[in-house]
Structure 1
Amino acid sequence: MMTPFGAAAVRQDVIPLPPLDPDPGSVAYFDTETTGLAGGTGTYVFAAAVATPIDCGLRVAQVFLPEPGMESAFLHALREELEPARGVATFNGGSFDLPVLRTRWVMARMPGEFSHAAHVDLLTLVRALYRHRLETCTLRYVEQRVLGYERDDPLPSALVPDAYFDFLRAGSLDLLEAALEHNRLDVISLVHLHSRLLRRLQGADVDMDADDWLALGRHRWRRGARADGWRALRNATAFAKGEAAATAGLLITRGLVRRGSIQAADTLLDWLEASARQDVRVSVARARLLEWRRREPELALAVVEDAQRRMPEVADDLEHRRARLRRKVELRRGDGLRRGRDGRQRDVRQVQLEAPILDGTA
């Protein structure tokens, strides 16, 4: 491929692929291979794969850097591959691939900036939606646990830089081809992973449990999609049992309180307390709501004492709250008695003051 900076090594092929559901639209998926993971000015990008869904499948283009002196042509060709897309998707690209490419763009004295369309980092989505299910979020592990297949990788990731150095020193192509195939498989995985993540974001996975709905609700809420987040949290709460359902219910309760829907929040907490009998967080939340929002310390005290009976292992932790509520209840009762006596005394004085007037008018 000819560029204004000379020839660039580019190869491409088309992989048959059924239509993606849901369709991600015009997105370019890309992954890079570098001479190291440290970043900075000494790290070169020597290969990049760009996958773009098309009508008949998946178009995969690979740009290769045969020697460091051809870096300008390499970077220009890579940007040309990314430019037509309306979006760019990577795996940890926001923290590594894109910063390294911007650095190389500056070091190669390229005009302007390394521009690209709106970027989505699939690693961020994986962590938000699947962290509770994954021991680690490496792409290889995500392929196994989320996509359900184990790759027969021709070359481990740790050996990819060595393959390029061997090529530069001795022109060895065997390991280099394995490194390029590794890069190609990475970017194909991103296409399938993005489709799976979009389905999870829509709540369309049939096997989602309370933990999954809770993770989805938190993510959508933080991203500003409040209605979708609220709906996902309700679905998590509907499972009734387990820590995730209780957590989702507590998040909904917090939102109801902020809206001023105190009665609705109390009703939900009452239902949660009956369902999650061994979750002390629900009892504490309801006691706080009754004490501070509804101004009913007697009911709050009853909730705390009931929680102590149900969960003796946390009874000591609740004792300070129970003692404080008991003092508040006793003070309120004492104030009520004093107000009652003061009221009766005022009634007697009023009668004494009014009696002579009544007698005089008679």
Structure 2
Amino acid sequence: MEVITKVLDELIDIPPNHFVFDIETTGLNSNYCKVILIGILFNQDNKTVIKQYFANTEDDEKELLLSFINDIKNYKNHITFNGLTFDIPFLNTRLKKHNIDFSLSKNDDIDILKLIRPFKEKLSLSDCKLKTIEKYLGIYREDTISGKESIDLYKEYSVSQDIDLKEKILLHNYEDIYYLGIIFKIKDILKGKLNVLCISTNNLSLKLVPISFKISKNTLSIKYIAFEGNISNINIYS
């Protein structure tokens, strides 16, 4: 198992006690497939650090997982892309397989996909893939492979130990977490693009994206997606 650490020349603006992470695996079934790479991004001493834990063979998985949790166990929250559905359940299954007494909580996760998915149509996105969102925001990668291709490349690497294959896998994961850190502020970017409606009272603060509305007998009814706030039905009297 190998740990690759890079200290960036820039400071990526994520909240204190948060880290970004993304995993690469040998497949989609966490009962049989293994974690072969985890990338994390965090801020330390006013600098942004990216660490990657790479398994040179599938047998390195337990050591990789132990190194990962040792570095992140004191952080409060994590930032992912589709982490609620894939990364967190997959990691927790693998941790359990190795009898490692640690688990990641979904309640501590900020899933960028979950934030963006409700606004797909409003933003005219063809899909909600990370690379699609990056292009929408004017971000273009050096990395050219997909997650599925990363799986296939690792299978080749397991046989050949070809350093070029390893570098392609590492770059894919590196850019996933780097740009995820960059687009963490997606809500600030979206506010201007979605014409967010702000409703504020002494007891309530809501930001809504109107979908449709109608006026009937001096009553305005709005269908909306909640941009910030969780109340589904409200009455406002003036």
TM bucket (normalised to shorter chain) is: 0.7 to 0.9
Q: Contact conserved, 1:29 with 1:89, CA < 8 A, in 2?
A: yes
Q: Which amino acid is the alignment partner of residue 17 of structure 1?
A: E
> 2:130 matched to which residue of 1?
139
Secondary structure of the structure 2 residue equivalent to 1:109: coil
User: In structure 1, how many angstroms separate the alpha carbons of the residues matched to 2:169 and 2:57?
Assistant: 16
Structure with the bigger percentage of helix: 1
Q: Contact conserved, 1:16 with 1:56, CA < 8 A, in 2?
A: no
> 1:12 matched to which residue of 2?
5
> 2:228 matched to which residue of 1?
none
Q: Is 1:227 aligned to residue 204 of structure 2?
A: yes
Structure ID, larger Rg:
1
The range that moved more, 176-185 or 79-88, is 79-88
User: In structure 2, how many angstroms separate the alpha carbons of the residues matched to 1:151 and 1:78?
Assistant: 26
| Distance change >3 Å, CA 185–CA 192, structure 1 → 2 | same
Q: How far is 1:29 from its partner?
A: 0.1
Question: How is 1:176-255 mapped onto 2 (pairs within 5 angstroms)?
Answer: 176-197=166-187, 199=188, 205=191, 207-210=192-195, 213=196, 227-229=204-206, 232-233=207-208, 244=212, 246=214, 249-251=220-222, 255=234
Q: Contact conserved, 1:24 with 1:194, CA < 8 A, in 2?
A: no
Count of residue correspondences: 220
User: In structure 2, how many angstroms separate the alpha carbons of the residues matched to 1:85 and 1:141?
Assistant: 29
Question: How is 1:243-282 mapped onto 2 (pairs within 5 angstroms)?
Answer: 244=212, 246=214, 249-251=220-222, 255-256=234-235, 261=237
Q: How far is 1:61 from its partner?
A: 0.3
| Distance change >3 Å, CA 126–CA 159, structure 1 → 2 | same
User: In structure 1, how many angstroms separate the alpha carbons of the residues matched to 2:30 and 2:72?
Assistant: 23
Q: Contact conserved, 1:26 with 1:85, CA < 8 A, in 2?
A: yes
Q: How far is 1:122 from its partner?
A: 1.2
Q: Contact conserved, 1:82 with 1:88, CA < 8 A, in 2?
A: no
> 1:49 matched to which residue of 2?
39
Match of 1:29 among 6, 20, 24: 20
Q: Contact conserved, 1:71 with 1:108, CA < 8 A, in 2?
A: no
Q: Which amino acid is the alignment partner of residue 27 of structure 1?
A: H
Q: Contact conserved, 1:14 with 1:59, CA < 8 A, in 2?
A: yes
Q: Which amino acid is the alignment partner of residue 143 of structure 1?
A: E
Q: Which amino acid is the alignment partner of residue 168 of structure 2?
A: A
Secondary structure of the structure 1 residue equivalent to 2:234: helix
Structure with the bigger percentage of strand: 2
TM-score normalized by the length of structure 1: 0.55
Q: Which amino acid is the alignment partner of residue 9 of structure 1?
A: E
Question: How is 1:61-80 mapped onto 2 (pairs within 5 angstroms)?
Answer: 61-80=51-70
Secondary structure of the structure 2 residue equivalent to 1:47: strand
Match of 1:59 among 49, 59, 83: 49
Question: How is 1:84-95 mapped onto 2 (pairs within 5 angstroms)?
Answer: 84-95=74-85
> 1:148 matched to which residue of 2?
138
Q: Is 1:170 aligned to residue 132 of structure 2?
A: no
User: Larger relative CO (CA 8 A, sep 6+): 1 or 2?
Assistant: 2
Q: Which amino acid is the alignment partner of residue 47 of structure 1?
A: L
